[in-house]
Amino acid sequence: MTDVDPIVSLEHDHVHLSKLVAEVRRLLVGEPVDPEQLQGALTALRDDLFDHFGREEESLFPYLRSVLPELAASLAELESAHDKICGGVTRMLAALHGGGPRPAAVFARFDAEYGDHARRESELLRGLGTRLDPAQRAAVAAMLREG
């Protein structure tokens, strides 16, 4: 049995995350919004985003900076987007409990930021396919398994 390519694994994470974002979008469009369902969907999204971003920021990005230092600015932009995206999902959860604007108002900004981030990160990951040698890909796979 062969190991899943680490880059493919990270891209698959984005497919999963995008499905969770679509579920939140669907729930927000519904009338009336079911607060329990929305809270469950937002909590799942938050937890999976935090896990995905944590693996990238604690393992992948530092490694990429060391082997491909020319990516430093792009990686910093992705990390900044992580903060905005996590802030957005956290604000939507707080809004469910009367802690700010309606979740739908926050979602529009969140959705735009997430979509742009997913596109930029996917482009970066696809570009890595030709830039990392087999040993480097193995190192990334090991880091992601451990993280």
Residue 111 lies in a domain: yes
How confident is the model over 25-73, as pLDDT tens digits?
999 887 787 889 999 999 999 999 999 899 889 888 999 999 999 999 9
Residue 55 lies in a domain: yes
How crowded is residue 32: how many other Cβ atoms within 10 Å of its Cβ? Answer: 5
Query: From residue 42, how far is each of 53, 65, 146 by CA, in Å?
Result: 16, 32, 26
How confident is the model over 87-132, as pLDDT tens digits?
999 999 998 887 666 888 899 999 999 999 999 998 888 888 788 8
CA within 13 Å, CB half, 106 = 21
Residue 1 lies in a domain: no
- DSSP letter (8 states) at residue 5: P
Report how many domains make up the chain: 1
Q: In which domain, by residue range, is 132 found? A: 6-146
Residue 109 sits in a domain whose CATH number is: 1.20.120
Q: Residue 44, SS3? A: helix
Nearest to 81 by CA among 17, 134, 133: 17
Residue 86 lies in a domain: yes
Residue 43 lies in a domain: yes
Specify the DSSP element, H or E, that contains 11: helix 6-29
Structure tokens, 44: 């799942």
Peptide bond into 32 cis (omega under 30): yes
- DSSP letter (8 states) at residue 69: G
In the predicted model, what is the mean pLDDT of residues 11-25? 87
